[in-house]
Chain A
Amino acid sequence: MVSSPAIICDSSSLISFAETCNIEAFYFLKDFLHARFFVPPRVRSESVTDPLKIKKYEFSAVRLNKLLEDNVVSLISVPNLARDTVRVMDLANNSFFIGGKPLKLIQSGEAECLAVIIGAKMDAFLIDEKTTRLLIENPRKLEEQLRLEYSRPVFTKEENISAFRALFSKVKVIRSTELLAVAAKNGFFAPFKENESHALHSALYSLKTAGCSITERELTHYFSIRV
């Protein structure tokens, strides 16, 4: 049986793909690898509806809108979406405190994606921004960084961090770089013939400069991948 992974997408990754001319990767992954991509309503607003009204970003939004029109990416809602979005935000935004004040780390777009994961079976969460990813994968690292940035005591509410992580322990977090690398391994850059690997490496670099949270070191490791 061929797997058909369900992937919930945050606007940070959609923007990375759109701004680096890599949107065709979604079509490729759907057609050849049977991927199913989803966005919740708030992500559609952030990535498409709102920027359609801003001249500078209109074309980028038009291209992302086409993904929805072509059913390559589907809008998804789940029962209790609003309730679970609030629940996720309450946990995440009351995990770290400075001077008695909670740090409001994530907003409703990121939280809505997570609420979809609670309400529906999702195999992966596609997100390029770092905070939400760290809350799931390694909140200690986030805490460490907060201590460095603020040079003030950071209080951690462990029960909220544990409860948050428990909700998302099974979800794989991937970035635009991973998704593009998978597409490349399956022939996405084959039209570039002898420049296939070069195309992948330069595309990965462009994703980093578009804001994907990938380190220079990680990028160097990716550059060793040949396709």
Chain B
Amino acid sequence: MPFLDALTSLRGAFERSNIDELKALGGSIAEEAFLGEDRDLVDLGVIGFSLAKLLQKRYIVGSPRWKAFFSETIRKLDLAAQSVKAEQEDAARELIASILLEVEEVSSSLGRFHVSVVAKARTKIATDLYAHGASLGQACELTGAEKRFVSQYIGLTKISDKYETLSVAERFHNALELFSNNGA
């Protein structure tokens, strides 16, 4: 999915406050980001998941601050799209970064989250990339997610269940053999 299409879709989904669409976009953006090793696309995916998370919380959406945040985010997404069309990628990148900062700010000031929605979104996308074949290191590098956090998240999924190769007997035997004495 090209960046401009993703941006436009994201803007539309947020304007409609469509949580499912934002989450689905986050997922499909993640896949494309991995294929293209595209960090800008990753950031859009992070925005998608983060906005979905904020929209799920009635106490956030119902707060006096929400209306201004909503309008400002739409305005910045529109400006970012215009910048991309005008081939001003750096300007678009700055606007995306600014949206992420705002989301962080709303998350910490209005939310009851132990971990920021942005960090959680990066972890979610990193986990998706891991499921799509990336190593743990590559998934974290591309998304900016923290390895420990992603590892724990992966541990709660069934992703690992697809990757059995050697039997436990063979693995354990290999490991024991490493430490066996070669005669006294």
- Tell whether A pairs with B: yes
Interface residues of A (CB under 8 A from B): 1-3, 5, 7, 11-12, 15-16, 19, 29, 33-35, 46, 51, 54, 56-57, 60, 96, 98-99, 101, 103-110, 123-124, 128-134, 137-138, 141-142, 145-146, 149-150, 172, 174-175, 178-179, 181-182, 185-186, 208-218, 221-222, 225
The answer to whether B136 touches A12 (Cβ under 8 A) is: yes
Q: With A12-B151, A46-B147, A129-B136 given, can you name 13 additional A-B contacts, CB distance below 8 Å?
A: A1-B182, A5-B179, A7-B178, A19-B151, A56-B146, A96-B133, A103-B134, A105-B134, A123-B178, A138-B165, A145-B163, A172-B175, A211-B154
- Residues in A with CB closer than 8 Å to B132 are 146, 149-150
**Chain B, range 132-171, C-beta contacts under 8 Å to A:** 132-138, 141, 146-148, 150-156, 158-169, 171
Known: A178-B172, A211-B154, A218-B168. A110 touches B137 (CB 8 A): yes
Least CB distance from B86 to A in Å reads: 26
Could you write out 24 A-B pairs with CB less than 8 Å apart?
A: A3-B178, A3-B179, A12-B151, A51-B148, A99-B35, A103-B34, A104-B34, A124-B178, A129-B130, A129-B137, A131-B134, A132-B135, A134-B163, A138-B165, A149-B133, A172-B177, A178-B171, A209-B155, A211-B150, A211-B151, A212-B155, A215-B164, A217-B164, A218-B164
Q: Check B31 for interface membership: any CB of A closer than 8 A.
A: yes
Q: Is the interface of A mostly helix, strand, loop or mixed?
A: helix
Write the residues of chain B forming the contact surface with A, with a CB cutoff of 8 angstroms.
31, 34-37, 130-138, 141, 146-148, 150-156, 158-169, 171-172, 174-183
Of B147, B160, B175, the residue contacting A179 (CB under 8 A) is B175
Return the chain B residue nearest A216 by Cβ. Answer: B161
Cβ distance A18 to chain B, nearest Cβ, rounded Å: 8
Please report the C-alpha to C-alpha distance between residue A44 and residue B2 in the assembled complex, in whole angstroms. 37
B151, A3: Cβ atoms closer than 8 Å: no
Measured CB to CB, the nearest residue on chain B to A217 is B164
Give every chain A residue within 8 A of B166 (Cβ-Cβ): 137
- CB closest chain-A residue, reference B175: A178
- Which residues of the other chain, A, contact B163 by a CB distance below 8 angstroms? 130, 133-134, 141, 145, 213, 215
Asked whether A105 lies within 8 Å of B35 as measured between CB atoms, the reply is no
Cβ A182 vs Cβ B175 within 8 A? yes
Choose from B137, B155, B156 the contact partner of A106 (Cβ within 8 Å): B137
Interface SS, B side: helix
Please judge, given known A-B contacts A134-B163, A212-B155, whether A221 and B168 are in contact too, CB under 8 Å: yes
Closest to A149 in B: B132
B179 engages A103 (CB within 8 Å): no
Least distance between B47 CB and chain A CB atoms (Å): 23
Contacting pair B137 A209 (CB below 8 A): no
What residue of chain A has the Cβ atom nearest to residue B162's Cβ?
A145
Residue of B nearest to A111 (CB): B137
Interface-centre pick from A35, A104, A225 (highest chain B CB count, 10 A):
A104
Query: Given the known A-B contacts A130-B163, A146-B133, A218-B164, are A3 and B175 also in contact in the complex, defined by CB atoms under 8 Å?
Result: no
**Assembly CA distance A190 to B100 (angstroms):** 50
Is B37 a contact of A104 with CB atoms below 8 Å? yes
A54: chain B residues at CB < 8 Å are: 146
Cβ distance B132 to chain A, nearest Cβ, rounded Å: 5
Residue contact A3 to B172, C-beta cutoff 8 Å: no
